[in-house]
Every structure is written in structure tokens, then in C-alpha cells.
């Protein structure tokens, strides 16, 4: 499902409203956490999860104060905003939260920008550059057998290596 830029459905969020909802990291984390749950979750569990992310620790290590700070913000501001836009269904009395039908639009954008293992292409280019520079350097100082290879040979190998990595990157980013 690809996100549409202009919605013809009056019940769907406009692109600006959607981006406004996704602008806040806590709201994004709420949507991502709920996406992986089939049942409604308790506000305390959700707050603990987000507090753990914000404090770079496990949910078991989250202090009462850290959890309460996140829970208060979710309860007073973020969940009501998400509920008003039909992104989450939020039962304030029971303290239960789950994704609503409007979350599909958000998920399309969140899935597009969240890649679990991004490729560090700069590292690959650096490896190719080092793999070419070492034999060229050894040839320059006259080390056998590197000195026997003509400069054109090294140029062809270097060009082929960089073209290969560039093509791999282009295919990966498609």
C-alpha cells in the first residue's frame, strides 16, 4: 500500500495532518508499538516501553518517575490527539490503547522510513578504496609483483570495483 498525496476520502487525514501527527517521536513510537500487537495494550505497558526507549534501557529498568512522565504526556496529550484522528482507539477509563483504522496511512509512512538494518554504503566504498590503494601504493614503491602491473591495470580494476559497488547501491535503494 503506497501513501496517497491527495485523498479523495473526506475521512482520511490530509498529508499535512498526517505529518503533524508523525512529527512527534512519542506518537510514532506509540503507533509502531501498537502495530506489533493484536490485542489492546495497557497504558502502563505502553508508557514503560516508550520510557525505556527514551532512557536507553530495558523496560524492567525504567523508574517510576520515568514511566510516570511518559504516561502523563501520553494520557493528556498524545493519545487524545491520535484518537481524535482515528489513529488509535483509546479507552481512558480502562487505560487501554489499540490501533484504529486510520493508522494504516501512518504505517505506510513509518514503514517507508524505518529500515531495520540500513546499509552503510560509505563503508563499502571505503573498503574498495583501501583495496585499490594498498596494491597501488606497493607498486609505487616497487614491491614485487605489484610493480609488474601497469597503471592501466590498476585503473581498470579500481573502476570496475567502484562501478560494481555503485550498481549494488542503486539496486539496493530502488
3-state secondary structure of 99: strand
At residue 115, the pLDDT reads 52
Return the CATH number at 33: 1.10.10
Return the pLDDT at 113.
61
Q: Give pLDDT, residue 60.
A: 93
62 found inside a domain: yes
**What's the DSSP call for residue 74?**
I
Query: 76 and 23: one domain?
Result: yes
pLDDT on residue 69: 97
In a domain, 105, yes or no: yes
- The verdict on 139 and 108 lying in the same domain is no
* 107 and 68 together in one domain: yes
Predicted structure pTM score: 0.58
My answer on whether 127 and 45 are in the same domain is no
Give yes or no: residues 130 and 109 share one domain.
no
Q: Which domain holds residue 146?
A: 121-172
Mean pLDDT by 10 residues, the chain (174 residues): 44 75 90 91 96 93 96 95 92 93 83 61 90 93 92 93 92 80
> Is the same domain home to 23 and 101?
yes
Count of domains observed in the chain: 2
Beta-strand ranges (E) seen in the chain are 41-42, 88-91, 96-99
Q: Does residue 2 form part of some domain?
A: no
pLDDT of residue 143: 93
Domain shared by 31 and 74, yes or no: yes
Final residue of a domain: which of 95, 113, 131?
113
CA–CA distances in Å: residue 116 to residues 111, 112, 119, 130, 149: 10, 11, 10, 28, 43
CA 152-158-163 angle, 5° bins? 125
Q: Which of 113, 136, 162 is the last residue of a domain?
A: 113
Same domain? 20 vs 48: yes
- Per-residue confidence (pLDDT) for residue 14, from 0 to 100: 80
Instruction: Give domain status of residue 133, yes or no.
Output: yes
The answer to whether residues 47 and 131 belong to one domain is no
Residue 111 CA neighbour count, 13 Å, CB half: 11
Amino acid at each position: 500500500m503506497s501513501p496517497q498525496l491527495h485523498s479523495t476520502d473526506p475521512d482520511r487525514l490530509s498529508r499535512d495532518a498526517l505529518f503533524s501527527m508523525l512529527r512527534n517521536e512519542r506518537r510514532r513510537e506509540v503507533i509502531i508499538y501498537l502495530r506489533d500487537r493484536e490485542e489492546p495494550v495497557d497504558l502502563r505497558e505502553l508508557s514503560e516501553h516508550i520510557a525505556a526507549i527514551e532512557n536507553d534501557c530495558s523496560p524492567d529498568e525504567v523508574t517510576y518517575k520515568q514511566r510516570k512522565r511518559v504516561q502523563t504526556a501520553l494520557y493528556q496529550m498524545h493519545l487524545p490527539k491520535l484518537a481524535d484522528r482515528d489513529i488509535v482507539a483509546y479507552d481512558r477509563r480502562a487505560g487501554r490503547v489499540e490501533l484504529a483504522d486510520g493508522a494504516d496511512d501512518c504505517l505506510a509512512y513509518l514503514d517507508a522510513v524505518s529500515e531495520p538494518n540500513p546499509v552503510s554504503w560509505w563503508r563499502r566504498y571505503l573498503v574498495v578504496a583501501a583495496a585499490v590503494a594498498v596494491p597501488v601504493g606497493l607498486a609505487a614503491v616497487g614491491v614485487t609483483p605489484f610493480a609488474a602491473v601497469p597503471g592501466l591495470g590498476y585503473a581498470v580494476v579500481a573502476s570496475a570495483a567502484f562501478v560494481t559497488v555503485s550498481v549494488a547501491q542503486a539496486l539496493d535503494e530502488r
